[in-house]
Amino acid sequence: MSNLDQHLSASQKLATDDLDWDLAAKIGLSQSERCALRYFADVEGQTVHYFLEVAKLEAARDPELLTFLTLWNYEEYFHGHALSRLLDVCGTPQTAACERTGQVRSQARFKATIEDWVQRGIARLMPRTFVALWMTWGALQEGLTTRGYEELARNTANPVLAELCQRIAKQERRHFAYYYGQAKLRLAESRFTQRVVRYVVEHCFSLVGSGVKTELEMATLIGQLFAGPRLLEVTAGLDKRIGALPGMAGTELVQRYAREQTRLLAAPGELAPELALG
């Protein structure tokens, strides 16, 4: 069965109707969980905008890629929806999902516009390299997102949050597998592509959602999500996977990103205002 066939047979709306929402409300969420869930809900809600941008590109009009993007976008929508519902029942109401997505998008518009221009330029000048870059970038983002949900599930005292995060992480692992598999195939096509992709990811990598949060907010969030040595453990593991892709041997780009985040938090207790409010 091909990688895409696996998605076609496994893809589905996240199941949440059987979760004990009353229990979730009774146990509640910690401040750092509320911050993390708001971030994840915002990022998941932005997927549709990214989908619209990328679908405009000629390089993305490959029937297989469009099929995957459709399934991916559908699944990500329900991740955001479920997280907003959890925040809501736990006493942190969110603006209606579609309305909030519009608000977040307007905050991120400047960065998104720049990214859009760069993306279009690369896609027009070197379409095959663009797809390899897009798939590698996607693997990095899905890999870190997966680990974020796994970490929330592992540390929370709320069993409903843990179950929800495990269910989401299961779908995120499948997204990672698709991007990773495509990156492997497409990077193997040429040394030129490998060099360009490596240069861009090593110099430009940042976690998805950076455009809607300040640097300090992102660093705070990451520091709360992956406490102490976990940040370097998790990022080293992801670097190892990425390092197995053609042309990416020995990369430490995710660990370097993590170290930059740690440095931003060098003044302990200095929580970003929005996150401190929880």
Four-point Cα dihedral 52, 55, 57, 63, nearest 10: 180
**Apex CA 96: angle with CA 221 and CA 151, to 5°?**
30
d(CA 41, CA 58): 30
Q: How far is the CB of 175 from Fe ion (least distance, A)?
A: 4
User: Contact region for Fe ion (CB under 5 A) — 41-49, 61-69, 226-234, 247-255?
Assistant: 41-49
Q: How many residues in the shown chain lie near Fe ion by CB under 5 A? A: 6
Residue 232, classified by CB atoms within 10 Å of its CB into exposed (0-12), middle (13-18) or buried (19+), is middle
150 binds Fe ion (CB under 5 A): no
Q: Which is nearer to Fe ion, 78 or 189 (CB)?
A: 78
Q: How far is the CB of 81 from Fe ion (least distance, A)?
A: 11
User: Contact region for Fe ion (CB under 5 A) — 37-45, 188-196, 258-266, 267-275?
Assistant: 37-45
Q: How far is the CB of 101 from Fe ion (least distance, A)?
A: 14
Q: Residue 117 is encoded by which pair of tokens?
A: 């221009």
d(CA 244, CA 258): 20
By CB under 5 A, the residues from 88 to 127 that bind Fe ion are none
Q: How far is the CB of 138 from Fe ion (least distance, A)?
A: 9
**42 to 81: interface string for Fe ion, x by CB under 5 A:** --x-------------------------------x--x--
Q: How far is the CB of 264 from Fe ion (least distance, A)?
A: 25
The only residue of 175, 186, 198, 213 in contact with Fe ion, by rule CB under 5 A: 175
Distances (CA, A) of 200 to 207, 237, 253: 14, 20, 11
100 touches 45 (CB < 8 A): yes
Q: Residue 108 is encoded by which pair of tokens?
A: 């991120």
Q: Which is nearer to Fe ion, 160 or 271 (CB)?
A: 160
By CB under 5 A, the residues from 248 to 267 that bind Fe ion are none
d(CA 2, CA 7): 9
d(CA 129, CA 200): 11
User: Contact region for Fe ion (CB under 5 A) — 1-9, 95-103, 141-149, 155-163?
Assistant: 141-149
172 binds Fe ion (CB under 5 A): yes
Write out the residues near Fe ion by the rule CB under 5 A. Answer: 44, 76, 79, 142, 172, 175
